[in-house]
Structure 1
Amino acid sequence: MTLPQRVRLVEMAPRDGLQNEPGEVVATDIKIELIERLARAGLTHIEATSFVSPKWVPQMGDAREVMAGLQRAPNVTYSALTPNLKGLENALEARVSQVAVFAAASEAFSKKNINCSIDESLARFEPMMARAFDAKVRVRGYVSCVLGCPYEGEITPRQVARVAKALYEMGCFEVSLGDTIGVGTPLAARRMIDEVARVVPVEHLAAHFHDTYGMAIANLFAVLEQGVAVIDASTGGLGGCPYAKGASGNVAMEDVLYLLEGLGIETGVDLAAVVETGEWISGKLGRESASRVARAMSAR
């Protein structure tokens, strides 16, 4: 068994965690404090917001204000999701460190989520990639539904590899593979990584697993053994998917850190500080943290 010596963690709570939060829009100052707390805990890659239409994603309507209000730490990458050229231009104006684009491995999900086919979505990214390249801003690619789709059911590894390869060849420095509805199991995750790694070097792949069936940690261990050394996670287990009924949030950052510490893998992140931050934001949202590790540590 060969495991990476160090894993880079990408924090999703401020964007993926809060974007579908029901009820009132989370206050801008709370979002800013969340991001700054995460940076102080040692997280060096934080997806801070999304430059999307407030009509479609009200929680992200203050993207400019969030980026403007941040006290930016020098060693932290503050990224933003940019679904189209207008969003990218707004993100560049706001001086984001990095941007992200997203495609799906499922035709049905792509049509439901962004109202176009997979190939149409990839074609839309080409002028965005050129603009980001001109601005010297790196682009990360996301592929959703890599281990299952709420509309199509099973997704073949070959479908995932095709989309991942297109994003990588287009210029995405890294491709994050998302189990959007959290249906994956370790064997399925391994098979998917095996197929994708044939067309995208494994050092350019990230795992973004949701925990709907409680399998995210097991799936992460499986892909760590294959050399994946970048993991997306969300403090407090915040987030879900509005297009996937019953889909719980991203795997909790606290649970991932506990796994990695137990495996002797370095992250540079302070677990206790992340637990404290997860409890703080969960309290602000009026709920208990979804992290099992956080609940266990708090009960001690």
Structure 2
Amino acid sequence: MSPLLPSKVKIVEVGPRDGLQNEALINGRTISAADKVALIEQLADAGISYIESGSFVSPKWVPQMATSTEVFNTIKRDNKVTYAALTPNMTGYNAAIAVNADEVAIFSSASESFSQKNINCSVAESIERFAPIIADAKKRNIKVRGYVSCVVGCPYEGAIAPEQVALVAEKLFTMGCYEISLGDTIGVGTPASVIKMLQAVSARVPSSQLAVHFHDTYGQALTNIYAALQCGISVIDSAIAGLGGCPYAKGASGNVATEDVVYLLNGLGITTNINFNKLLQAGWFISHKLGKAPVSKVSQAYLAQQSSPAQTQQS
């Protein structure tokens, strides 16, 4: 392993939330809470230590997350796993507290246009809305994770200035977010743009408090993750089976697949403490429930090679 790379990486599994919320409804209905619970428990059994398990948003806007309360109340929790929830406002935050979410996440954007079109307010206003969430969470000793979207590109503005990303990330960090996840929402980043962005952000927020969240719209996610690793990032968001589409690019893939990320990390000799075979099984489970093939290239390759186990090299 290169000395420039971290020795250990934490995977933040966002499939049950960010992934499933962007999956098309199955025959007009949402995936069941029981299937979500089964997926989360399989991911925990595979060794995933952080699972974003639901989102407390209006079911009118995100119907796939309508069962989040049931999911949190049903999962058999592993005390080695953090079960987190996305909370866009105080109403959502209170709902997350009611089901004993271990952590909550809030989100802003580095793009003014995206913020206005996505949540109907400016970036500054979006951050102000989170002040009471952070204040209450601090009283309860609940950690708050912050997301910044459109960190290299926006579907409305195009390229985003790295310094703008840095300012938003710094604001969330200063307010009390212990970790800032930097999201390439439309997947347009390349190593050059990602490195410039990370250099700007890490000048204001310690690299140890940063995570990356890449979408694979243009097939650059793994390359961008490798670039981020070289910049000292050791927390990576990903979604099992590559769950989730990209609503801003018709037909495009969404989140980078956890299986592909772990395969990369294993190949680099970086510790994840994840059982790779159990991870594959979890991806096949949810893909079957969705009636689709896993987006993960690694998962597809293992499926094709099942009749020839000698060809597989990872365990």
- TM-score normalised to the size of structure 2? 0.94
CA drift of 1:253 comes to 0.3
Listed as ranges, the matches of 1:84-95 within 5 Å are: 84-95=89-100
CA contact (8 A) 2:146 2:172 kept: yes
Q: Distance in 2 between matches of 1:20 and 1:256?
A: 20
1:276 shift after superposition: 1.2
190, 200, 206: which one pairs with 1:201?
Answer: 206
Contact 1:104 1:144 in 2 (8 A): yes
Determine helix, strand or coil for the equivalent of 2:130. Answer: helix
Per-residue displacement from partner, 1:145-204 (whole Å, max 9, x unpaired)?
001000101001011001000000000000000000000001111110000000000000
Q: Secondary structure at the match of 2:247?
A: coil
1:203 counterpart letter in structure 2: S
CA contact (8 A) 1:113 1:243 kept: no
Displacement of 1:240 in angstroms is 2.5
Q: Distance in 2 between matches of 1:150 and 1:252?
A: 22
Match of 2:289 in 1: 284
Aligned to 1:22: 24
Q: Number of matched residues?
A: 300
Of residues 66, 90, 99, the one that matches 1:61 is 66
**Taking structure 1 as the reference length, what is the TM-score of the superposition?**
0.98
- The answer to whether the 8 Å contact 2:186/2:248 transfers is no
CA distance in 1, matches of 2:257, 2:193: 21
In the alignment, is the contact (CA less than 8 A) between 1:182 and 1:247 conserved in 2? Answer: no
Aligned residue identity for 2:6? P
Q: Which residue of 1 aligns with 2:254?
A: 249
Kindly indicate whether the alpha-carbon contact (under 8 Å) linking 1:16 and 1:240 is maintained by their aligned counterparts in 2: no
1:295 counterpart = 2:300: yes
Question: C-alpha distance in 1, partners of 2:254/2:135?
Answer: 33
Shift of 1:246: 4.5
Q: Find the counterpart in structure 2 of residue 177 from structure 1.
A: 182
Q: Tell me which amino acid in the other structure corresponds to 1:253.
A: T
The AA in structure 1 aligned to 2:295 is: A
Contact map agreement 2:187 2:221 (CA 8 A) in 1 = yes
Moved more, 17-26 or 182-191: 17-26
* Counterpart contact for 1:181–1:248, Cα < 8 Å: no
Tell me if structure 2 keeps the 8 A contact 1:207–1:220: yes
Render the CA deviation track for 1:52-93: whole Å, top value 9, x for unaligned.
111111111111100000000110000000000110011001
The residue type paired with residue 274 of structure 1 is L
For 1:62-77, list aligned pairs within 5 A: 62-77=67-82
| 57-66 or 245-254: bigger deviation | 245-254
Equivalent residue in structure 2 for 1:144, among 134, 146, 149:
149
Alpha-carbon distance in structure 2 between the residues aligned to 1:257 and 1:193? 22
Partner Cα separation in structure 2 for residue 117 and residue 244 of structure 1: 23
Give the C-alpha shift of residue 245 in structure 1. 4.0
1:232 paired residue number: 237
- Check the 8 A contact 1:49/1:79 in 2, yes or no: yes
2:188–2:218 Cα contact (<8 Å) kept: yes
Q: Deviations over 1:244-268 (max 9, x none)?
A: 5454211000000011001100000
